[in-house]
Chains A and B, each alone.
Chain A
């Protein structure tokens, strides 16, 4: 149980275009999902916290108008990178937190999406 999927697993796009990444909890409901970005040889940096039915909470320094997050259901959150530029190239990973009692803190990670902006 507790499987999280991401789609696509990798994407290459031209500078200036927008890219949408989906994060799904397959066998549990996730009221909260998190989006991370990981540059090569670096740690995971939290970008935003996505709560179902409400606006996302962005970390300091993350542009909310550039990284659009939508959490329309208890099993799906999307991250759209708008007007992507080469510096946005990174590994984007989502995680979902189960609403089950007893595992309130544990996050289940998706497989990640490798974004390359040319």
Chain B
């Protein structure tokens, strides 16, 4: 099955700096890679996703890059703000077979943005 590794486990930055979180995946059949932000006791919120037919996607201060050959994808947050502080999870999903649609999550990254 799919295995998703996420680094770093914790990330501390100053307000205004950029933050980068990286994930690797094992299943070459995976074709959908969402990123979630989760605040304490709340549901995961989708912040951006990318499909395997594109290499980069950007939405305002957030961008995701995907390298299918190397099987890794990264989340980039620019001009970080204190309200960006949360736990971020990457995930991978396959598009077919018996694992269709299953999400495998990374271990999570606790992002702290200091004012």
Task: Report which A residues bind B (CB closer than 8 A).
Answer: 32, 34, 42-46, 49, 57, 91, 93, 95, 97, 104-107, 109-112, 114
Task: Report which B residues bind A (CB closer than 8 A).
Answer: 31-32, 34, 41-46, 49, 51, 89, 93, 95, 98, 101-108
Nearest CB on B from A62, distance (A): 13
Asked if B43 and A110 sit within 8 Å, CB to CB, the answer is: yes
Number of A-B residue pairs having CB atoms within 8 Å of each other in the complex? 53
Asked if A97 and B101 sit within 8 Å, CB to CB, the answer is: yes
Inter-chain contacts of A106 with B (CB < 8 A) = 32, 34, 46, 49
Residue of B nearest to A44 (CB): B105
Asked if A44 and B95 sit within 8 Å, CB to CB, the answer is: no
Nearest CB on B from A8, distance (A): 14
Nearest CB on B from A29, distance (A): 15
A105 CB contact (under 8 Å) in B43, B93, B98, B106: B93
Q: How many angstroms between the C-alpha atoms of A110 and B44 in the bound complex?
A: 9
Q: How many angstroms between the C-alpha atoms of A66 and B93 in the bound complex?
A: 27
Sample of 12 A–B contacts (CB below 8 Å) = A34-B103, A43-B89, A43-B105, A44-B103, A49-B101, A105-B31, A105-B32, A105-B93, A106-B34, A106-B46, A109-B44, A109-B45
Asked if A34 and B89 sit within 8 Å, CB to CB, the answer is: no
Residue of B nearest to A95 (CB): B103
Q: How many angstroms between the C-alpha atoms of A104 and B89 in the bound complex?
A: 20
Asked if B102 and A93 sit within 8 Å, CB to CB, the answer is: no
Asked if A112 and B93 sit within 8 Å, CB to CB, the answer is: no
